[in-house]
Structure 1
Amino acid sequence: MSKHRPNRLAETLKEEISQLIRVELKDPRIGFVTLTSVDVADDLAHAKVYVSVLGTEDEGKASLEALNRAAGFVRSEIGKRIRLRHVPAIDFKYDPSIQHGAHIAKLLRDVGVSDDSSKDESHE
């Protein structure tokens, strides 16, 4: 089977789910959540939604738990918004890539600051 249809569905799901989280979900446990990607299985039966959460590790766990509890609601809303014969089962997964990128950027800034200060001292 071509990978074209799962990719199209993944993009559509990403847009719709991000809007649902932003507008419809009123759970206070859900913090500042960013959808990073959506992987749809080739048979279109399952979708893994990868999210990154801004905040502490405990806030991230609480947000992820709240999202997984709301997965049934999200799935039913997707079914109302998109014309699909079968709406994929949705599973939210934590994606540490944004946090990892921020950590690497901080390390690079720290190295850059120490390099700049050593250059300034050598020029004086």
Structure 2
Amino acid sequence: MTFSLLSLVVDAGDPESESSFWHRLLGGTVTRTATHHFLRIDGFPVIVIQHAPGHVPPQWPGGVSQQLHVDLATDDMAGADERVLAAGGTRLSQAGVYASPAGHPFCVRPA
């Protein structure tokens, strides 16, 4: 028996802002339903933004655990910082740690 990764599911109180953020950052296409937004990007598993009423963002570092995070690689750290911020992300530290609009932390590392 083998397994393959079908999707990464992200909870968000506002699926539109969360899926728009990841779409601006990574490209691909977004398909929307009443409760889920499906972001499809070549070479990635599907990222599913799931509507979660009452979603409480992780408080990381120093609070509620981060639950899950994504690492992205880039060959241009300064350009990546600008792109993340322009897409609606928040810088959590100078060490390449950011948060999406729903508060999910992710890291950008040199490729």
TM-score above 0.5, yes or no: no
Larger radius of gyration: 1
Q: Which has the higher strand share?
A: 2
TM-score (norm 1): 0.28
